[in-house]
Structure 1
Amino acid sequence: MVKVLQYGVGSIGSKAVKALVSKPWIEIVGAVDSDEAKKGRDLGMVAGLDRRLDVEVYGSLAEALKHVKADIVLHTTSSWLDLVEPQILEIVENGLSVVSTCEELAYPWRRSPEAAKRIDEAARKNGVVVLGTGVNPGFVLDTMILTLTSVCISIDRIEAWRVVDASKRRLPLQKKIGSGMSVEEFRSAVQRGRMGHVGLRESLDMVADCLGWNFDYVRESLEPVVASKPIETEFFKIKPGQVIGISQSIGGFVGGFEKIKLNLQMYLNAENPRDAVKIEGVPSLEFEVKNGIPGDEATVAIIVNMIPRVLSAEPGLKTMKDLKLPFAWLKAF
């Protein structure tokens, strides 16, 4: 029986709890959340299970570890590594492995090498494993692409697309893509560095490192998608001219040639949602998941399914490319 501590009981954390209780090889021993309204309450009620789990939500990791012992932490708090690093280091220094949904932790070695080194050294020192993963980054625009390349002898170019209908997603994500903003507000938020999908650069870096590609330069773009007609979701009423999401891309160039391009379109009422990959090489491949891989459900699934892989790995900061082949863990562990 694997003893799991859930760190963060927001939207994704709550869905993780529902998945964890469905696994007979997992025991949830406690939870951590800084929200005063959740402290001291039963995790089952906080996570929306409508039943008690007899598991308490604590206000801090230190407090939780005074009362429970765990084997691993599922961490679901923030997308940005600068905010998450202190939390990850505290977990590691208490001798616990961790699987986190922090997008910038999915492959931090190129963009945040100093933070990656600190986390890696701490994990090795304490004999534990740290993994950042999710549906994207963690799967669609990196691990899935790399898996497809395994049947190629040579590769000239890769392009991939993730098109997501954000109207069906949770409120934090709809906010993160700028829903309801004016174009001016959107561009201002981009300048502050807190707008758009987090993790596209991490996906590009992981694919490039695996294939041995070094780029002369990388080109990124982030533009608003603007409503041409009124749109209403559970959370927003959008007028024409307001922002309904993002069109984001990143490309790596060698000698003026774009070797790889990753495209992400995430907006309300998106047309033709899908995940697709096109590889030009020997052989050339085209692959598509119609309607796309569901974001929240897939993120929860992959962080739970990676628990056995993390607990069986050598200590250190790991990425999806470092661990054994991922799959749905439907058996005992």
Structure 2
Amino acid sequence: MSKSYRVIQWATGTVGSISLRHIIENPAYELAGVLVYNPAKSGVDAGDIVGLPKTGVLATNDVEKIIATDADCVHFAPQFQDIDMVCRLLRSGKNVVSTVGPFFPTEHNAAALKKIGAACQDGGTSFHGCGIHPGFIGDILPMTLTRLQNRIDRIEVFEIANKLKSPSVYIQFMGFGQTPEEFYSKPNVMTGSMEAFSDSMALVVTGLGKKIEKLSEKLELALAKNDIHYDGGVIRAGTIAGEHYEWTAWVESKPFMLFHLYYFLGDDMEPNWNLGESRHRVVIEGDPSIEMTLNALPDVNGDRHFLGITWTALLGNTAMAAVCEAKPGLVTHFDLGVVQPRGLIRKH
């Protein structure tokens, strides 16, 4: 994998912009094209979109132009999955790395993966779904940690994100600022998300030689005690300021793998979970019992920023070369083995 790869960045939102910057700066990649949804970005140099020197590559909102572009791989990072578009890209001869899954074969994504598999065979291409959570923190990281175990009784994975310190579009997408009545009356970006997260659970449980018997879900909401001001607006008192999702995979009639997703805006809420700094955490109970915490180093102000968005992009970026070299078809973490990223050691 010493050659460079021609790469298309699909979408330039929060995840896509981080990815685009990486592709431009990484000598292992050559930027071949950029697909944007915002018409105002169409015709703009890719470098200008992310505050870098001009690249000579102009972004476009013309899907057909992107489909016709010669490239080795597409980093596919829209807000929502589009399986039909993924299949078009695969059939056009481009490998696809997607930040929105599917991540691992399960019953709920069987139809989508069947379509993707057929497209891969038609195009002689490969597909890989990855991200931070669902993704790395919930599958390949705990799967790797199992090498340190004599016996495993229970695995818990935590994503803890204080969005007051790192605001993002997910504050609106997840229903923050709504009353509980409003929240439960209409779907949001998290509706049905247990199935997506269960992809990661299935990878670990399958890797341990077992099967998931059932999934269960719990949701706890925390309400703002006073108005909470953040960069994107105000969360009014009495509206949702915190969400705790708990998904459980049952194995051999016991709760074996639990995912906790805590998103919140500060501590001025009831109940106050007193979660501290943003971080990811994996706890494995058994013989021996261990835990691992993954977070950012403190900045000049002593704050540890939540890196979930950044890691979602980079996990796809660092896998692209390996996916391009893989055999046609679905490429899971098991197929990739130990990923060997290219272009990371370079002048700053």
Q: TM over 0.5, yes or no? A: yes
Does the CA-based 8 Å contact 1:110-1:205 persist in structure 2? Answer: no
1:284 aligned residue: 289
Distance in 2 between residues matched to 1:274 and 1:192, nearest whole Å = 21
More moved, 162-171 vs 91-100: 162-171
Q: 2:174 aligns with which of 177, 181, 187?
A: 177
2:272 aligned residue: none
Q: 2:55 aligns with which of 53, 56, 63?
A: 53
Does the CA-based 8 Å contact 1:61-1:91 persist in structure 2? Answer: no
Amino acid at match of 2:126: V
Moved over 6 A (4+): 195-198
Amino acid at match of 1:181: Q
Pair 1:36–1:194, CA change in 2 (3 A): farther
Displacement of 1:31 in angstroms is 0.9
Give the total of aligned pairs: 326
Aligned-pair identity in percent equals: 25
Q: 1:11 aligns with which of 9, 14, 24?
A: 14
For residues 127-171 of structure 1, the C-alpha deviation after alignment (integer angstroms, 9 at most, x for no partner) is 111111111122111111111012223322112211111224453
More moved, 185-194 vs 267-276: 185-194
**Pairing 1:219-238 to 2, within 5 Å after superposition:** 219-238=216-235
Amino acid at match of 1:70: A
Displacement of 1:63 in angstroms is 1.3
Does the CA-based 8 Å contact 1:4-1:26 persist in structure 2? Answer: yes
For residues 162-201 of structure 1, the C-alpha deviation after alignment (integer angstroms, 9 at most, x for no partner) is 1111224453222222221111111123489648788322
For residues 25-51 of structure 1, the C-alpha deviation after alignment (integer angstroms, 9 at most, x for no partner) is 211121112332222222222x23154
Displacement of 1:210 in angstroms is 1.6
TM-score relative to the length of structure 2: 0.85
Matched, 1:101 2:99: yes
Distance in 1 between residues matched to 2:211 and 2:98, nearest whole Å = 28
For residues 256-315 of structure 1, the C-alpha deviation after alignment (integer angstroms, 9 at most, x for no partner) is 421111111111226323222221223322222255861122122211111121112111
Q: 1:42 aligns with which of 42, 45, 50?
A: 45
Matched, 1:132 2:132: no
Does the CA-based 8 Å contact 1:79-1:198 persist in structure 2? Answer: no
More moved, 88-97 vs 309-318: 309-318
Does the CA-based 8 Å contact 2:174-2:188 persist in structure 1? Answer: no
Q: 1:153 aligns with which of 134, 150, 172?
A: 150
- 3-state secondary structure, aligned to 1:58: coil
For residues 221-274 of structure 1, the C-alpha deviation after alignment (integer angstroms, 9 at most, x for no partner) is 233332123211110211221112421011122454211111111112263232
Does the CA-based 8 Å contact 1:158-1:279 persist in structure 2? Answer: yes
2:270 aligned residue: none
Does the CA-based 8 Å contact 2:165-2:305 persist in structure 1? Answer: no
More moved, 4-13 vs 57-66: 57-66
Pair 1:50–1:69, CA change in 2 (3 A): same
Q: 1:294 aligns with which of 281, 293, 307?
A: 307
Displacement of 1:328 in angstroms is 4.8
1:64 aligned residue: 66
Distance in 2 between residues matched to 1:139 and 1:163, nearest whole Å = 15
Distance in 2 between residues matched to 1:246 and 1:127, nearest whole Å = 42
Distance in 2 between residues matched to 1:12 and 1:192, nearest whole Å = 16
**Pairing 1:19-38 to 2, within 5 Å after superposition:** 19-38=22-41
Does the CA-based 8 Å contact 2:88-2:119 persist in structure 1? Answer: no
Does the CA-based 8 Å contact 1:251-1:261 persist in structure 2? Answer: yes
Does the CA-based 8 Å contact 1:177-1:267 persist in structure 2? Answer: no
Does the CA-based 8 Å contact 1:221-1:250 persist in structure 2? Answer: yes
Distance in 1 between residues matched to 2:172 and 2:339, nearest whole Å = 31
Pair 1:5–1:148, CA change in 2 (3 A): same
Q: Aligned-residue CA RMSD in angstroms?
A: 2.4
Q: 2:317 aligns with which of 282, 290, 304?
A: 304
Does the CA-based 8 Å contact 1:196-1:246 persist in structure 2? Answer: no
TM-score relative to the length of structure 1: 0.89
Displacement of 1:73 in angstroms is 0.6
Distance in 1 between residues matched to 2:10 and 2:132, nearest whole Å = 19
1:76 aligned residue: 77
1:90 aligned residue: 88
Does the CA-based 8 Å contact 2:249-2:258 persist in structure 1? Answer: yes
Matched, 1:317 2:330: yes
